[in-house]
Structure 1
Amino acid sequence: MGLCCSKNVAVSEADNKPAAAQQSKHSPVAPVPPSSGPGDAHSGKHTPANSFSASPCPSPLPAGIAPSPARTPGRKFRWPLPPPSPAKPIMEALRRRQGREVKPKDGPIPEEHPGGVEGEGGERALDKSFGYGKNIGAKFELGKEVGRGHFGHTCWAKGKKGELKGQPVAVKIIAKAKMTTAIAIEDVRREVKILKALAGHKNLVRFYDAFEDDHNVYIVMELCEGGELLDKILSRGGRYTEKDAKTIVVQILSVVSFCHLQGVVHRDLKPENFLFTTRDEDAPMKVIDFGLSDLIRPDQRLNDIVGSAYYVAPEVLYRSYSLEADMWSVGVITYILLCGSRPFWARTESGIFRSVLRADPNFDDSPWPSVSSEAKDFLKRLLNKDHRKRMTAAQALTHPWLRDEKHDVPLDILIYKLVKSYVRSSPFKRAALKALSKALTEDELFYLRAQFRLLGPKNGRVSLDNFRTALMKNSTDAMKMSRVYDIINLMEPLSHKKLDFEEFCVAAISSYQLEAHEGWEKIASTAFEHFENEGNRVISVEELAQEMNLGPTSYQLLNDWIRPSDRKLTLLGYTKFLHGVTVRSSNPRRP
């Protein structure tokens, strides 16, 4: 049986293999050992890119993060039957991404290399020409190495001519010999494209240019000389005070909200990928390493498994995720900042994944009794296994824990998605949402007021033009490539009306996120009282099924949501109607 620093988690006996260099279980977060990754720019650490390896035993993957010596170790449990390991399909997917061989029990299977052709001697005929400039030597003088990873290394450099003449920069050098699959080549191409298109935020590493020659790709970026956030955590004895942690978290949320508004999901947020610009105590941080990032349309779900084991969201392991996966990672980072240990931990890859999927973070042991209730609520709102109930970055910046910090509240893309659904919904659904809006907490209203102001209302109302203009103010090339503007076309019904603040609150409500509140039952009962007075009406099972896009097989279930006496929705029916019915739950257990 394995150990993990989460509550109520079971791990298999395979997780109890001895670790040769295991540290005391009461020590803080351990530093990261040499590992691999295509994107550990000017870090100095050997950070994994798409590796989930965290086992002290030999792994088929590149070396990953060392087991976390937990400050708050959990209890041991044994499954009555060995549970299915979530690691096997994940490991195989990662090996395919990295061009490694997969050898199942019945013998080796030839590796698939999308876009590549096997040639004589096993050589793959891959096009490794990127179309970048060939003259890096004429523009930059390369200096000492400052970091190394599996796919290449990062060097200090100085500009020879032009705007960067005499200025120190970081040059990330990726060896073409390491690009053994079409996926690996596309990862590099996409990283440069995103860095080039995503610009303008103070906490985002600045991209200057990209070059190539026959052997390498060179990505020239801003040099950050202050070290990693992970190093700063370790230098503080493994944890931050709440006050200092807030300063860090605000910077992380600010840049993540910017990326998400542009339609960019980072997919590898962790302390190693945040660098301080200088050694000064109050130096700002920059997010780096967009090697695993991707552009995502507003309603798109991604399915490829990438990231780092301790920070991966549950829905990533189930191969259906979006921007919310980054928010889970922010929650893990914040947890580490406040207590010095990881919320999900085990000695093997399989144990880590099982902990992420099935365990609850430990908020009982030291130092959590001395941590504020607001901080713990903040974490619970991010480390929610149902991605629909997780706060967005903009919402997190308005949470009571961070409200006193001096920062701007950014425009939230979630507002656009919710308003789009509202203006295309039925009158009955709008009535249900209107009743729910009358039970909103002050915290929710604080966030909605901030978003309403960002839309620039005229005479107290917002129209489709307001939504379009607000988006344009935050526009980058990345937003155009991720087709974020497409959402405006889907909001076309709004062109014939204007929303005052009261109706905006109705339109921008998320029942899923309200369900995450500890006081959800009170919110729901208060909303139902308003619904009974203003919106509840006689409705047939067939009509309710049509409202919820369900077929005849659901009739028996829906009948339980309607009162026999007057054929109106019950409190249960009202909350279920708000929530909706999905094909499967958000956290199923696969066989």
Structure 2
Amino acid sequence: MGICTSKPSPNSHTSSPKSDSPQTKESSVKLPDASANGENPRDDKAEAENVKKSPFFPFYSPSPAHYFFSKKSPARSPANVSSNSTPKRFFRRPFPPPSPAKHIRAVLARRHGSVKPNEAAIPEGSEAEAATGLDKSFGFSKHFGNKYELGEEVGRGHFGYTCKATFKKGELKGQQAAVKVIPKSKMTTAIAIEDVRREVKILKALTGHNNLVKFHDAFEDHDNVYIVMELCEGGELLDRILARGGKYTEDDARTVMIQILNVVAFCHLQGVVHRDLKPENFLFSSKDEDSQLKAIDFGLSDFVKPDERLNDIVGSAYYVAPEVLHRSYATEADVWSVGVIAYILLCGSRPFWARTESGIFRAVLKADPSFDEPPWPSLSAEARDFVKRLLNKDPRKRMTAAQALSHPWLKNSNEVKVPLDILIFKLMKVYMRSSALRKAALRSLSKTLTLDELSYLKEQFALLEPNKNGTISLENIKTALMKNATDAMKEARIADFLASLNALQYRRMDFEEFCTATLSVHQLEALDRWEQHARCAYELFEKDGNRAIVIEELASELGLSPSVPVHAVLHDWIRHTDGKLSFLGFVKLLHGVSSRTVPKAQ
């Protein structure tokens, strides 16, 4: 989505004259499947030419991951770099056969209607679409010219361009706005049309957050769609990073991260995943040093239900999460992207780097970011821990945006106001469906939580506004969600999700049980002190909850199907001396092993 306020640099190295703006939705596109990217020696020359055209940040140092996954040294000549956008955001050449990535690229080409005569698309059932006969009517107002005076162009991308515009009448008469103009001639597939329709729907639905670009209206005529938003004249976050010599101080980075996490947590609560978070997609509202930061470009965003997993590989290579490349992800993928931004802000280099897209993907999947090189040793332990917990490759162990705002590195700031976290409702749903034995195990684990770990849960409990007795019911949860609801939340059907918590309609939950229900075993497991947590919890469980249990009863507790060979699977879960749960069985019980996960454990 385009809301830039300065003309693109004439020296930008791009793949086409219409790909300068880093803020149009095509600057981030469907990415080829990492597992399908074959390397071919005959492409070395073409790849080298592309590297020369890639606008690398001059202050970035290559990640050590490059040396693990690339046979050649990175090209780092200052003559080959530019500093105005994230590199390699377009795929400029066909992938060589026999790589399956060619198929993914063909799907991408059809998505944007860019199939050339010599690049035959691979038909995929109903996805095979003709460019003619498409309904390009969106139902938007057709009187753009009556309300706005279109001004100078301020940015151009592959799929559209952005102009300034002036209100002609109404309360905002004489004020300026930003208008993204998308030619209908570019919409040559049904998917491209749906992308535009969904972008407007999400912008219209997500309203009322200070760190979100304000949507004014959408118009159309025979030739174009016009998306009108507030004009942000402070430039990109990327530009300010560059202006500061490539990195921020901890205090300044903290201020930026609070704003980014606030808007990301807001979107996730509403059931929207952005899918393209990067410094280019955050604009400052003005040129003032303390200007507000605004999230833009929802062209790749989508609605996601609390229990839903998406499988589209979309985003920008340097910021894409591992689970996106594995084609199974949700809102956690945004948090990974925030972690990449945090890493860049604090040290001035990317956590994952390589010469090629496939090299970047391998680094994202397999390499660990370096925290040993300067300036990391001189930064606070809290800052390092904060970034590490955002860049955990397991999305279940990664902090949510709301949890990140509760992290010790941020929570002492006066600017922090922790929002409601949709994760607590997901965890409550699982807890309500758990067996009595698992609930007892979770209760033991909750008693080992530290004050820092309890702090986040206390904040979430307070947001549900318990009664004078310190308890909550289903009504509290509904009220809290409605207080924060936008139209986007209704689209993601989060209200339907609450049906799984109907048991709370007939009883109340105190804070102790709330902690038991909403602690994340996977997140605790990611901490250095997990072993201590688990051992202490097991000792408590031995006193209060452990009992003799036969394997068949345990299988029933876990809800395992009759087809599962329970004696082989659960043999190590039970102590042979007294028939009670072993430590191994206790830890696995905490994770909630089911029929779906047991075969993987065999």
Q: TM-score, normalised by structure 1?
A: 0.86
Equivalent-residue separation in structure 2 for 1:170 and 1:461 (angstroms): 47
Q: What is the SS of the residue equivalent to 1:402?
A: helix
The superposition leaves residues 485-523 of structure 1 with CA deviations (integer Å, 9 ceiling, x where unpaired) of 112211001111111111111111110111111111101
Are residues 1:355 and 2:363 paired? yes
Q: What is the SS of the residue equivalent to 2:29?
A: coil
The superposition leaves residues 375-406 of structure 1 with CA deviations (integer Å, 9 ceiling, x where unpaired) of 11111111111101111111000000101112
Corresponding residue number in structure 1 for 2:587 = 575
The correspondence for 1:327, drawn from 335, 343, 354, is: 335
Contact 2:112/2:186 (<8 A) preserved: no
C-alpha displacement at 1:73, in angstroms?
A: 3.9
Q: Look up the equivalent residue of 2:507 and give its one-letter code.
A: K
Question: In terms of mean alpha carbon deviation, does 510-519 or 161-170 score higher?
Answer: 161-170
Q: Look up the equivalent residue of 1:469 and give its one-letter code.
A: T
- Give matches, 1:6-17, under 5 Å: none
C-alpha displacement at 1:46, in angstroms?
A: 9.1
Q: What is the SS of the residue equivalent to 2:139?
A: coil
Corresponding residue number in structure 2 for 1:509 = 519
The superposition leaves residues 536-560 of structure 1 with CA deviations (integer Å, 9 ceiling, x where unpaired) of 1122223333333434235313211
The correspondence for 2:445, drawn from 430, 433, 436, is: 436
Corresponding residue number in structure 2 for 1:520 = 530
Q: CA RMSD in A?
A: 3.1
The correspondence for 1:252, drawn from 254, 260, 270, is: 260
Contact 1:90/1:305 (<8 A) preserved: no
Aligned pair in 2 of structure 1 residues 36, 103: CA closer, same or farther (>3 Å)?
A: closer
Corresponding residue number in structure 2 for 1:50 = 29
Corresponding residue number in structure 1 for 2:345 = 337
The correspondence for 2:489, drawn from 479, 482, 485, is: 479
Corresponding residue number in structure 1 for 2:303 = 295
Contact 1:116/1:181 (<8 A) preserved: no
C-alpha displacement at 1:308, in angstroms?
A: 0.6
Corresponding residue number in structure 2 for 1:74 = 64
Corresponding residue number in structure 2 for 1:161 = 169
Structure 2 gaps, min length 5: 1-10, 35-43, 72-97
Aligned length: 546
Q: Look up the equivalent residue of 2:111 and give its one-letter code.
A: R
Corresponding residue number in structure 1 for 2:158 = 150
C-alpha displacement at 1:45, in angstroms?
A: 7.8
Q: What is the SS of the residue equivalent to 2:411?
A: coil
The correspondence for 1:467, drawn from 463, 470, 477, is: 477
Contact 1:324/1:392 (<8 A) preserved: yes
Corresponding residue number in structure 2 for 1:99 = 113
- Give matches, 1:266-277, under 5 Å: 266-277=274-285
C-alpha displacement at 1:164, in angstroms?
A: 2.5
Equivalent-residue separation in structure 1 for 2:133 and 2:26 (angstroms): 29
**% of aligned pairs identical?**
60
The superposition leaves residues 77-106 of structure 1 with CA deviations (integer Å, 9 ceiling, x where unpaired) of 4799xxx989656545433433344999xx
Q: Look up the equivalent residue of 1:450 and give its one-letter code.
A: E
Contact 1:116/1:126 (<8 A) preserved: no
The correspondence for 1:494, drawn from 496, 504, 523, is: 504
Q: Look up the equivalent residue of 1:139 and give its one-letter code.
A: K
Question: In terms of mean alpha carbon deviation, does 461-470 or 534-543 score higher?
Answer: 534-543
Q: What is the SS of the residue equivalent to 2:161?
A: strand
Contact 2:63/2:352 (<8 A) preserved: no
- Give matches, 1:211-230, under 5 Å: 211-230=219-238
Q: Look up the equivalent residue of 1:451 and give its one-letter code.
A: Q
- Give matches, 1:13-412, under 5 Å: 34=14, 48-52=27-31, 57=46, 66-67=55-56, 70-71=60-61, 73-74=63-64, 76-77=67-68, 90-101=104-115, 108-112=120-124, 114=126, 117-118=129-130, 123-406=131-414, 407-412=416-421
Q: Look up the equivalent residue of 2:461 and give its one-letter code.
A: F
Equivalent-residue separation in structure 2 for 1:422 and 1:97 (angstroms): 41
C-alpha displacement at 1:125, in angstroms?
A: 2.0
Q: Look up the equivalent residue of 2:61 and give its one-letter code.
A: R
Q: What is the SS of the residue equivalent to 1:337?
A: helix
The superposition leaves residues 45-77 of structure 1 with CA deviations (integer Å, 9 ceiling, x where unpaired) of 89612154999946999x996456642541634
Q: Look up the equivalent residue of 2:442 and give its one-letter code.
A: L
Aligned pair in 2 of structure 1 residues 195, 422: CA closer, same or farther (>3 Å)?
A: same
Contact 2:274/2:300 (<8 A) preserved: yes
Q: What is the SS of the residue equivalent to 2:152?
A: strand
Equivalent-residue separation in structure 1 for 2:141 and 2:566 (angstroms): 60
C-alpha displacement at 1:349, in angstroms?
A: 1.0
Corresponding residue number in structure 2 for 1:565 = 577
Contact 1:37/1:151 (<8 A) preserved: no
Equivalent-residue separation in structure 1 for 2:286 and 2:517 (angstroms): 44
C-alpha displacement at 1:124, in angstroms?
A: 2.7
Q: Look up the equivalent residue of 1:470 and give its one-letter code.
A: A
The correspondence for 1:556, drawn from 547, 551, 568, is: 568
Q: What is the SS of the residue equivalent to 1:163?
A: coil
Aligned pair in 2 of structure 1 residues 545, 433: CA closer, same or farther (>3 Å)?
A: same
Q: What is the SS of the residue equivalent to 1:389?
A: coil
C-alpha displacement at 1:535, in angstroms?
A: 0.9
Contact 1:56/1:347 (<8 A) preserved: no
Corresponding residue number in structure 2 for 1:450 = 459
C-alpha displacement at 1:319, in angstroms?
A: 0.9
Structure 1 gaps, min length 5: 1-30
Corresponding residue number in structure 2 for 1:543 = 553
Contact 1:115/1:126 (<8 A) preserved: no
Aligned pair in 2 of structure 1 residues 39, 199: CA closer, same or farther (>3 Å)?
A: farther
